[in-house]
Amino acid sequence: MKPNFPDRYSLAHLPTPIEPLARLTRHLGGPELWIKRDDLTGLAGGGNKTRKLEFLVAAAQAQGCDHLITMGAVQSNHCRQTAAAAAKAGMGCSLVLRGEKPVQDSRRNGNLLLDQLLGAHIYWSGEKKPTAVAEAVAANQKKLGRTPAIIPYGGSNVVGATSYVWAMQEAMTQLEQMRLNFDFIVFASSSGGTQSGIVLGAHVYGFRGRVLGISVDSAAESLKTKVASLATATAAHLSLGTVSLADRVEVNADYIEPGYAVLTETEREAIQLTAQMEGILLDPVYTGRAMGGLIDLIRWGAFTRGQKILFWHTGGFPALFAYDAPLTAA
């Protein structure tokens, strides 16, 4: 049975390329590394959220909504892409960012600068729950005669996860055309929507390898439960019936101890190596941590030299500009 995909609002440059990481592979002396470039989806710096927003914007418009509201951290890639999607679709946008407005100039750069350039209205949650602030913003928009839609963190609901089922269809077509097989797909995992979609898509389209999410902030069991539940709900949303994929959800949470958005030598080395070996930019929060974890796993022998690994780049490079000091520290 194949998915019954809902409408999309075209935002992304697709398909994104799959490329070899030949120099990085030789440098590490481990498995053969390739990369799926979802940093090249094209919307205001690109990233995985652009795929999600194609379905999320279409769903909001189908409900008559004209204003998007979402939440995230100060350097949220999801918020930046939501602001861009709203601008392209002619919708208003409000972003609720966690904590207080930053004082340091560097933290006001990166994604936060782009949020402002894209015309988003920015609210700071302070000590309040961002979801509560988002509800208050929505209520105010309704008083102004608008029809808002609240998008969850990372766009990670069944609508957003649908995009990565679609993306797996795209990837499997590419692999067939390129005559490639991979033992693992590896990527950063946080709010769970991307991993849920990839896991479900792997099941639907017959990917025989393993799917490994490297957690950037959640304990392994917590993230596994969230991903498995969302994958099952997404299957129902796509008229695939009852699907249980808990046994296909793999999470490595060995690299979360420093905390969310805290850059350590693991991320710094991964960002520098990937840039200097391949000319590809990773971000400090998600892809830097995921690639750092992958490099560490390769070094201690978690993979064999004969295996092939596809690293799915989920984007986020604008956040680099808010981390200039720690990235360049001696």
Whose structure tokens read 């697709």?
Answer: 14
Cβ partners under 8 Å of residue 317, min gap 6 = 39, 45, 281, 282, 283
Strands 18-20 and 32-37: antiparallel
pLDDT reported for residue 119: 98
Residue 184's pLDDT band (boundaries 50, 70, 90)? very high
Mean pLDDT, rounded, of the chain:
96
Same domain, 174 and 294: yes
Which one of the listed residues 76, 191, 196, 218 is annotated catalytic?
76
Can you give the pTM of this predicted structure?
Answer: 0.96
Q: Specify the residue for token string 């398909």.
A: 15
SS3 at position 133: helix
pLDDT (0 to 100) of residue 271: 98
Type of residue found at 8: R
| pLDDT at residue 106 in the model | 63
Based on the fold, state whether residues 104 and 117 are members of the same structural domain: yes
Integer CA distances (angstroms), 139 to 144, 181, 226, 261, in order? 9, 50, 29, 31
Residue 11 lies in a domain: no
Q: Is the same domain home to 69 and 115?
A: yes
Q: Please determine, for residue 72, whether its predicted confidence score (pLDDT) is greater than 80.
A: yes
In a shared domain, residues 202 and 217: yes
For residue 323, the one-letter residue type is Y
Within 8 A by CB and 6+ apart from 50, the residues are: 11, 12, 38, 41, 42, 43, 81, 85, 315
Predicted pLDDT of residue 76: 96
Residue where a domain stops, chosen among 119, 139, 155: 155
Count the domains in the chain: 2
State the pLDDT at residue 211: 98
Q: Is residue 5 domain-resident?
A: no
pLDDT of residue 312: 98
Q: Is residue 172 part of a domain?
A: yes
Confidence (pLDDT) at 294: 98
pLDDT exceeds cutoff 90 at 306: yes
The answer to the question of residue 56 being in a domain is no
Residues 71 and 28 in one domain: no
Claim to verify: residue 150 and residue 170 sit in the same structural domain: no
Query: Is the confidence at residue 318, as pLDDT, over 90?
Result: yes
Taking residues 4-29, report their average pLDDT: 97
Report pLDDT for 102. Answer: 85
* pLDDT tens digits, 240-280: 999 999 999 999 999 999 999 999 999 999 999 999 999 99
Known catalytic membership, residue 229 = no
In this model, does residue 107 exceed pLDDT 70? no
pLDDT of residue 23: 98
The mean per-residue pLDDT over the stretch 302-318 comes to 97
Residue of 18 and 330 predicted with greater confidence:
18
Q: What is the pLDDT of residue 105?
A: 67
Question: What does the pLDDT read at residue 108?
Answer: 78
Range 200-221 average pLDDT? 97
Average pLDDT over residues 176-185: 98
113 pLDDT higher than 70 = yes
Quick one: 124 and 211 in the same domain?
no
Is 76 found in the same domain as 38? no
Residue keyed to tokens 């799926």: 36
Q: Reply yes or no on whether the pLDDT at 104 is more than 90.
A: no
- For residues 191 and 272, state if they share a domain: yes
Containing structural domain, residue 73: 64-155
Whether residue 172 contacts residue 203, with contact meaning beta carbons closer than 8 Å, is answered with no
Residue 299 shares a structural domain with residue 262: yes
Q: Say yes or no: 144 and 241 in one domain.
A: no
Task: Mark which of 155, 185, 205 sits at the end of a domain.
Answer: 155
| Position 205 in a domain | yes
Q: Does residue 223 sit within a domain?
A: yes
**Per-residue pLDDT band at 328 (split at 50, 70, 90):** confident
Residue at 12 is within a domain: no
**Domain edge (last residue) among 109, 129, 155:** 155
Are 307 and 189 in a shared domain?
yes
Q: Which region, left, alpha or beta, applies to residue 52 given φ > 0 means left and ψ of -120 to 50 means alpha?
A: alpha
Whether residue 330 has pLDDT greater than 70: no
Residue 123 sits in a domain whose CATH number is: 3.40.50.1100
Q: Is residue 243 part of a domain?
A: yes
What lies within 8 Å, CB to CB, of 152 at 6+ separation is 70, 71, 160, 191
The confidence score (pLDDT) of residue 326 equals 85
Take residue 213 and report the two structure tokens written for it: 């999410």
